Structure 1
Amino acid sequence: MPASVAYLFDRITVNPRQCGDRPCIRGMRIRVIDILELLAAGEQIFDFLEEFPDLELEDLKAALLYAVCKLDHPVLAT
């Protein structure tokens, strides 16, 4: 992962007492999965930011990067 985007991971927080220990954005109760589901459903990025004024564009990028890193892992065949 390029160092130019690694800082985005600082925006992802996990707290066992918040949102069922699921990754959230900057300690808020906005889960990464919520962002991904809304984007997958066709929500436009700038409409999204307007509806959630506490979010920033970098938060959406962080959610996408988090998903990429979670999915990009080797699968060992036996």
Structure 2
Amino acid sequence: MNYRNHITIEANKRGGKPCVRGLRITVYEVLEYLASEMTEAEILDDFPDLTREDLKACIAYAADRERRYAVLYRNCGIIIS
């Protein structure tokens, strides 16, 4: 999935944190909702501006960010366990 169509970063919005489509809902918040066992349907009911694709984009963004950090750490010789 190309999350770049769904995730935006604006310096003057939410302190520059990655948000969903310019809304004031951060990627971190969506991930926290999913981690707290909220269902996709519950999140979409609570936040009608969000779509299923937005939720998938948040997960894809987090996965890509994790992959980039792993590469950075490996290139710097940092071992994380």
**TM-score, structure 1 normalization:** 0.87
State the Cα distance separating 1:9 from its structure 2 match.
1.6
- Tell me the number of residue pairs that the alignment of Structure 1 and Structure 2 aligns: 73
Q: Matches of 2:32 and 2:47 in 1, distance apart? A: 15
- 2:46 aligned residue: 51
Q: Matches of 1:37 and 1:48 in 2, distance apart? A: 11
State the Cα distance separating 1:33 from its structure 2 match.
0.3
Write the letter of the residue equivalent to 1:39. L
The 5 A counterparts of 1:7-46 are 8-46=3-41
Q: Matches of 1:16 and 1:22 in 2, distance apart? A: 8
> How much is the aligned-residue C-alpha RMSD, in angstroms?
1.2
Once the two structures are superposed, residues 10-45 of structure 1 have per-residue CA deviations (whole angstroms, 9 ceiling, x without a partner) of 110011000000000010000000000110011101
Between the aligned residues of both structures, percent identity stands at 36
Gaps (5+ residues) in structure 1? none
Larger Rg: 2
**SS in structure 2 at match of 1:49:** helix
